[in-house]
Amino acid sequence: MKLNEYIDHTLLKPTATVEEIKKLCEEAIEHEFYAVCVNSSRVELAAKTLKGSRVKLAATIGFPLGASSLESKMVEADAAIAQGASEIDMVMNLGLFKDGEHKAVLTEIATIKTAIGNNLLKVIIETCYLNEEEIAGASELVMKAGADYVKTSTGFGTRGASLKDVEIMKKVVKGKIKIKASGGIRDAATAREYIDLGVSRIGTSSGIKIIS
């Protein structure tokens, strides 16, 4: 198992500078990480820095709250793809989900997926705010809506991923879509536990530490 091939090398802090984004991309190229994950305002810069490399580029949408309108998420996703992203990490509308507006949540995810076409859509369900039943229900919605991945966390909630979260998600999606674990994964042993459980991607700002 080559850990670097599972890692989305991530920098999403609001204060991230041009130099820090460039460094992130250069590290991803050097260590052959699978992808880089940045806020949508930094996609153009990241795309330029990654040009000619095999590293994929993911942009966050509706981040970190998921509470922005579908219309604004659409504009953000379209712009990110136009500027060079090939993967979108979108936060699900948690308020709508908590209200039981599951059809609206499904429509939002399906609409974004249709808009970005063959590009990958990962949907963050922010498990720290959900009980076990809700984690299962949200994973089901993400799968039904046609997303490519269900993702645990933004890293900005009350906690990050847990192995229990992933076990619940795995039982629901049954390999039909992939799982990304993110938030609080900072060492190789933890990363391996998630991969052994069936996770296809790890989102982390500790990628270099993990592979070292």
Locate 110 and state its tokens.
Answer: 């399906």
Active site residue 180: yes
E strand or H helix that includes residue 211: helix 207-211
Please give the C-alpha separations between residue 42 and each of 75, 149, 153, 180, 203, in angstroms, as whole numbers. Answer: 15, 22, 20, 22, 17
How far is 97 from 102, CA to CA, in rounded Å? 6
How far is 97 from 134, CA to CA, in rounded Å? 9
Active site residue 171: no
Please give the C-alpha separations between residue 161 and each of 20, 41, 209, in angstroms, as whole numbers. Answer: 25, 25, 18
Q: Which of 8, 89, 148, 165 is catalytic?
A: 89
Q: Which of 8, 148, 151, 165 is catalytic?
A: 151
How far is 181 from 204, CA to CA, in rounded Å? 9
Residue 65 three-state SS: coil
Q: Which of 56, 73, 122, 180 is catalytic?
A: 180
Active site residue 151: yes
| CB-neighbour burial class of residue 196 (10 A; exposed 0-12, middle 13-18, buried 19+) | exposed
Which residues are known catalytic residues? Answer: 89, 151, 180
